[in-house]
Structure formats: structure tokens, C-alpha cells
A and B are shown apart, each in its own frame.
Chain A
Amino acid sequence: MAQEVKGWDRNQMAERAAKELEDGFYVNLGIGIPTLVANYIPDGVDVTLQSENGMLGMGPFPYDDEVDPDLINAGKQTITELRRTSYFSSADSFAMIRGGHIDLSILGAMEVSENGDLANWMIPGKMVKGMGGAMDLVAGVKRVVVVMDHASKSGDPKLLHECSLPLTGQQVVDMVITNLGVFEIERGKGMKLTELAPGVTIDDVKAQTEAAFDVAV
């Protein structure tokens, strides 16, 4: 019986994603695994986290006696401010996103296609929650990194020739980090596998991927 290929766990995926952070970056982290990236910011790399509800310089969760209902992140979680923090309106927040002033967005996905299309906001007839700020982020931020499980819970590939779900953005993803490895996507040139998680083979990746990709590991 074939052994299940695991590769990286959630925290290891976040740790790998954190290597994409550069000193001085302004970064927006999505909900889920991307939030964990904040725990792995490399030493000597100074980044400022943006929260799209209207804050730059997001701090850690508060201690119990510090909880402030006026201070939440885009996931509606209570957070804290830092000495560098600034607050602004949602219009200003998305002006800095749409205007290309945020360096990096790390977010989750349901599907990514080989040309960088992203689907992460809607399952027709089933899930009607809304896109929130995801469409603005992927259209406006300089670089978009997706962190997600390589396959769905039922084992279906999530890296596809074409997304089957409604898109969040067209040709917007620059990198995908899954539990099996790392893919880079260059606009108009397709997808290439650039890194394998420990213990994962190229054949393991191929077996769980529908999208066409070059191998450059």
C-alpha cells in the first residue's frame, strides 16, 4: 500500500513562506496558515504588517486585560498596536493596496491554475460568504504568494489547468507553497516546481497535480 505523502505541516509551510519576506517589506497576511507566517519572520528582517480594515503595524494578540474592541484585524480577531502603528480608513487602506504600495500578500486558496489564476472566495450554491478584500489584494499588491494544501480533503488536486470555481483574480499568483513543495509562476510562461518538501519526490507531486509544470529543483 502506498504511504501517504505528507511533506510540510502547516507551521513548516508558514516557515517556508516567511523566507519570502524581505527587510523593509509592507506585508498583508491572509487568514489561516498565512497568519502563522508572522511567527517565523527571520532574524534581521523588519516587516510591517498591514491589516486591510485600516492599520499598518499590526502587533500580536493582546493579553487578556489588554483586549480592546476598537482594535481588530481583518479576520475580526483582537490584536495590539506597536510603536510604529498608524490607523486609517478603509478607503485609504485599499488605496495603498490598489496603488501598489504593499510589497507582498500571502493568502490561502481553494484552486490555482497553471497561469496563475486564483479561486478562493466562492463555491456556487454552497458558500456565500463574500470575497472581502481578496480581489483588491491580488489585483493591487506587488507580489502574491499562495499557501495551501496541495490537494483537497477528498484528495482532488488544487493546482489545475484551469480553475473550476469562480475566480478571485486572473494571472495574479506569483508563487504557490504547498505541503509538497514550492512553485513559481511567471506571467505567460507557466508554472515551475522549484523546491520539494523533505521526503517528497517529483513523482509524488505529479501524482497530486493536474496543472502542467516544469521541474527546476
Chain B
Amino acid sequence: MKKIYPDARAALDGLTFDGMTVMSGGFGLCGIPENLIAALRDSGVKDITVISNNAGVDDFGLGLLLQTRQIKKMISSYVGENKEFERQYLSGELELEFNPQGTLAERCRAGGAGIPGFYTKTGVGTLIAEGKEHKEFDGETYIMETGLVADLSIVKAWKADEQGNLVFRKTARNFNPMMATAGKFTVAEVEEIVPLGSLDPDCIHTPGVYVQRLIKGDHEKRVEQRTVRQRETA
């Protein structure tokens, strides 16, 4: 089976439908599947539930899908960089479910691993715990969280081979590996597709079994907060 598709639009063909759930990798604007997000926008699919740690910024990343009102609900841990998000949420146009970041990561990992629920200390005694099962282990209270799966996961990696084995780069890895495992279909976009045998099998982060379709994208890789130090002049 050939996994490589010519472009993002072709890679999403037949995978989108109104009311679907989409996982989108990335942390802030780092390691986001920018080509696939744009293709999702262009597909016109509506009422999407998006699972993503963040919501992009107003004019890039998932912010593009907020501008066009294609998102019905977000499951995220932090959305502070996006003014349009805040406006749509406060006016009641957008549903929002906040998850603690580690709980969100683990829910994706669990979903992809066939684990329907797990217990965590995170959020005990807070709003997050309301309505959730509480259970004691060794005198400590934990709450139950459920695994997450998606109709479609879109992820960004650095390199892939033709089998869809993925390698990520630096902190652009973030949520991508777990989300790749938790999609009924997973589409990956990468900076480079290399021939079979050129990735070290010991250094593959995401095995190709999780990746159904693959594209090589062009990446703007926008920097959200450029922080630098000055060289001391001699």
C-alpha cells in the first residue's frame, strides 16, 4: 500500500466529514501540521471537535479554522495566545473543554493504546474533578480520566521513510507521537521523505503502523516568541 500522497488536499480526500473529531499535533506553533490544517480549512468541513494542546494564533495554525467558524468544540490545555478564540468562547459560539496538559497527553496516549480510562492525581479538588469518579490508592485520592481517540489525527514530523516511520526534531515532537497513535486515520506531514533503509531503525520515534498517509509539506515554521540574547561585543 502506498502511503505517500502528492499534497495535503489529496491526503485528506475521503477522510473528512461534518461533526468529526480531529487531533492536531503541536505545542504553540511548534511542530504543528500547518499544511494539513490549511487543507482542512479548504475542505470546508464543519462542526469539528478539535483536540489540540493550543489553538494557534489568530492568523496561523488552528486560528485559521476559528476564523472560518469550522470548529464547534476545542479540547485544549491553554488557549491564551488566541484573541479570536477568547472572543468566540466568551460569546458562547465555541465550546471548550480544558484538560490539564499532562492529562490531555495521557488521554491521547491511552486512547491510542486501547486503554479506555486511567486514574491521576492531577486536578483532584479542582473544577476538573467535578463529576469524575474518585478512587483511593494507598491513601491518596485520584480521579478517573478517559482515553481519547479521533476520527482523524494530523501530525507533523521532521523526516519519514516511505513506510511512514517518523522521526521528530527537538521540541517539535510534543503531542505528535501520541496523537499519531490515537487517530482512526493518521495523516503525517514531514519536511523530508527519505528512502527505505536511510532511517536508523533504533531511532524511529513513531513506527509506520500508526501512519496511513504521508505528505511532504512546505513549512513556514512561524516563531511565536522570538527571545534572544546579545553577544558581548569585544
Residue numbers of A with Cβ under 8 A of B are 51-55, 60-64, 67-73, 75-79, 81, 87-91, 93-95, 97-98, 117, 122, 128-136, 139-140, 166-171
Cβ-defined contact, B30 with A53, below 8 A: yes
Q: Which residues of A contact B101 (CB under 8 A)?
A: 52, 90, 94, 131-133, 136
Nearest residue (CB) in A for B177 is: A89
Within 8 A of A (CB), among B107-126: 108-109, 120-126
Contacts of B126 in A (CB 8 A): 135, 166-170
Chain B residues lying within 8 Å of A52, measured Cβ to Cβ, are 101-102
By the criterion CB–CB under 8 Å, are B78 and A64 in contact?
no
In the complex, A122 Cα to B8 Cα: how many Å?
Answer: 37
Output the least CB separation between A207 and chain B (Å).
30
B30 touches A91 (CB 8 A): no
Query: Assuming the A-B contacts A68-B170, A70-B169, A97-B102, are A139 and B124 also in contact, with contact meaning beta carbons closer than 8 angstroms in the complex?
Result: yes
A53–B105 alpha-carbon span in the complex (Å): 10
How many Å lie between the Cα of A64 and that of B229 in the bound state? Answer: 7
* B79 and A93 contacting across the interface, CB-CB below 8 Å: no
Known: A53-B27, A76-B225, A95-B106. 4 other contacts (CB 8 A): A67-B228, A90-B53, A98-B122, A169-B125
Residue of B nearest to A137 (CB): B102
**Interface flag for B2 (CB, 8 Å):** no
Chain A residues with Cβ under 8 A from B124's Cβ? 139, 169-170
B174/A54 in contact, CB under 8 A:
yes
Closest to A60 in B: B229
Instruction: Indicate if the CB atoms of B125 and A94 lie closer than 8 Å.
Output: no
- Chain A residues whose C-beta falls within 8 Å of the C-beta of B109 in the assembled complex: 91
- Tell me which of A51, A76, A170 has the highest count of chain B C-beta atoms within 10 A of its own C-beta: A76
The CA-CA distance from A93 to B53 in the complex, in Å, is 14
Whether B228 and A91, one on each chain, are in contact in the complex, defined by CB atoms closer than 8 angstroms, is no
Q: Are A55 and B171 in contact (CB under 8 A)?
A: yes
Task: State how many angstroms separate the Cβ of A132 from the closest Cβ of chain B.
Answer: 4
Assess whether B81 is in contact with A53, with CB atoms less than 8 Å apart.
no
Q: Choose one: A55, A61, A69, A136; the contact of B103 (CB below 8 Å).
A: A136
Q: Is the CB of B170 within 8 A of A76?
A: no
Which residues of B sit under 8 angstroms from A64, Cβ to Cβ?
Answer: 228
Q: With A70-B169, A136-B122 in contact, do A76 and B30 touch (Cβ < 8 Å)?
A: yes
